Structure 1
Amino acid sequence: MLLFSCCQIMDTLKGSITIEISKDASAGVVDRFINLCKSDYFKGMPFRHVIKNSVIHGGDFDLNGAAHEWILKAKASGENALSPKHEAFMIGTTRSPNSKGFDLFITTAPIPDLNDKIVLFGRVIKGEDIVQEIEEIDTDEHYQPKTPIGIINISLIQEL
């Protein structure tokens, strides 16, 4: 069980989402995320993929490897059956983070194989309705939003 100890506000084009960050999830990932937030790294970052009943994915670089395959084939394979061990509204990044970028995922449903692909380091504590509103936007066949949607900014409201 993760212990949550830091809060941040993610302002999106649809509204604000309050997230709690867990330092014990992966200290290196959390430190990097917080440092990127402080340097306005996420300011203006688009959500690249929106998959209903799965994830919302933001990032500023092209994906490759296992995470890319998982995102684009998740719905097509029908392997997103609900699992009680993986919750909706969790925040994570890829297990093999790109040193030049940072993937940001918000789960919108329990995902069975989440631990194989994403390091969870936070959860949504307010704004689940905003996450669901983002999840409902129209996407193309590659799960890319037809209308741009993304993060306006992320601000720290409570230190670790």
Structure 2
Amino acid sequence: MEIQESKTSNNSFAYLDIKIGLEKSGRVIIELFDDIVPRTVKNFKSLCLGSEDPVLCKPLCYQGTQFHRVVPQFMVQGGDVTKNDGTGGRSIYGKQFDDENFELTHSEEGRVGMANAGANTNNSQFYITTVPCPHLDNINVVFGQVRKGLNIIREMGEVPRDNDVPIIKCIIEKCGILEPGKLWGINENDGTLDVYPPWPDDWEVASDEKLENVISNIKHSGNYYFKRHNYVDSDRKYKKALRYIDYLLTSGSGYDSKIVSEIKVCSLLNLAAVRIKKGKFQDANIYCNQAIALDSQNGKAHYRRAQALIGLKEYDKALLDLNKAYNFCPSDKLIQNELQKVKNLKLNYLQKEKMIFSKMFSTIN
């Protein structure tokens, strides 16, 4: 079920479509408190839509800008529309504008406020909190609240970073203001069976929709992209399936545990296959370990972990897994071929080591 703009609020709603690295992470919906901080909201809305600056003689817009600072268990910060690195920024009123008021507090996660360098130094930069931050009260002006997509912000806050600067780029790919009565656009719309938001917390459950079927649809969407060698979107979909599975397992609602366990194992192994294709063998090994913990007699799981171990050049461990896989699936030609391949790889590896040591000792002598 898709969500429409709240009919109980006369406030505006903005959207930010977030991209983390190559992955489209989803849409964040922000309620803007026009009634409490109208001047501050007008600045944010104008920059979401794009505003021509009369001094710089160019449009200023959040679209294409990055979140230049991320701090886990605190906030993410972006909105530098001039330099895009946190050293710039400009408002629609000029270089800076005054604090409007501090009526809204940082009492909950998902607060959106103006970043500043002291009193009355607001420009275009803003932050979104991931936890309550009372220490920012009476210092920073709050003007919005995340209504959907807070987990996308949390995900951004956990990316690898160097001195709080994200190593993986976190971009506002698209932004704007939602028209009254229009759909929020948080659900997937890529032509596959997956028509659900990136995070299950944002999902408006239809009364006739079983969560097991939803998870299966998301997994099939991942398969669609994997078959087309699109490893960015297949990776995203399999991770999404696992999020929905974890949501189901903690929801307390009735479900078939056997079916859910099978889907989880399958999703973990599919995600491992994607990571192998991307050369991320350690990641693949971790996902396989999780799958085997759920089903130790799954031949495909041992086969997939062997592939990851081959990538890590851990040939002895790979052989152990392949032998287990062969015992569970003795007629599987792929396993038989992989066994022979690993034996050859190990032999070549040992021969190369022997040659290296032979040259080393001959040099010493």
Tell me if both proteins adopt one fold, taking TM over 0.5 as the criterion: yes
Say if 1:49 and 1:143, in contact at 8 Å, map to a contact too.
Answer: yes
After the TM superposition, which residues 42-121 of structure 1 pair with which residues of structure 2 at under 5 Å, given as runs? 42-60=62-80, 61-62=86-87, 86-94=107-115, 96-98=120-122, 101-121=123-143
Deviation at 1:4, TM superposition (A): 6.2
What is the total number of aligned residue pairs between the two structures? 134
Equivalent pairs: percent with the same residue?
27
The separation in 2 between residues aligned to 1:150 and 1:129, in whole angstroms, is 16
Q: 1:5 is aligned with what amino acid?
A: N
Q: Provide structure 2 residue ranges, at least 5 long, that are not aligned to the other structure.
A: 1-8, 20-24, 51-59, 81-85, 89-104, 181-365
Q: Provide structure 1 residue ranges, at least 5 long, that are not aligned to the other structure.
A: 64-83
Q: Provide TM-score, normalisation by structure 2.
A: 0.34
Say if 1:4 and 1:20, in contact at 8 Å, map to a contact too.
Answer: no
Deviation at 1:158, TM superposition (A): 3.2
Q: 2:152 is aligned with what amino acid?
A: I
What CA deviation, in whole Å up to 9, does each residue of 1:101-151 have, x standing for no partner?
4111100111121123321111111112211111110111x2000111121
Match of 1:9 in 2: 15
Q: 2:110 is aligned with what amino acid?
A: F
Moved over 2 A (4+): 94-98
Candidates 43, 57, 61, aligned match of 1:41? 61
Q: Which has the higher strand share?
A: 1
Q: Provide TM-score, normalisation by structure 1.
A: 0.75
Deviation at 1:97, TM superposition (A): 3.7
Q: Which has the higher helix share?
A: 2
Is 1:26 equivalent to 2:48 in the alignment?
no
Q: Report 1 or 2 for greater relative contact order, CA contacts < 8 Å, sequence distance ≥ 6.
A: 1
Match of 1:78 in 2: none
Deviation at 1:33, TM superposition (A): 1.1
- The Cα RMSD (Å) is 2.1
SS state of the match for residue 35, structure 2?
coil
Candidates 129, 150, 153, aligned match of 1:131? 153
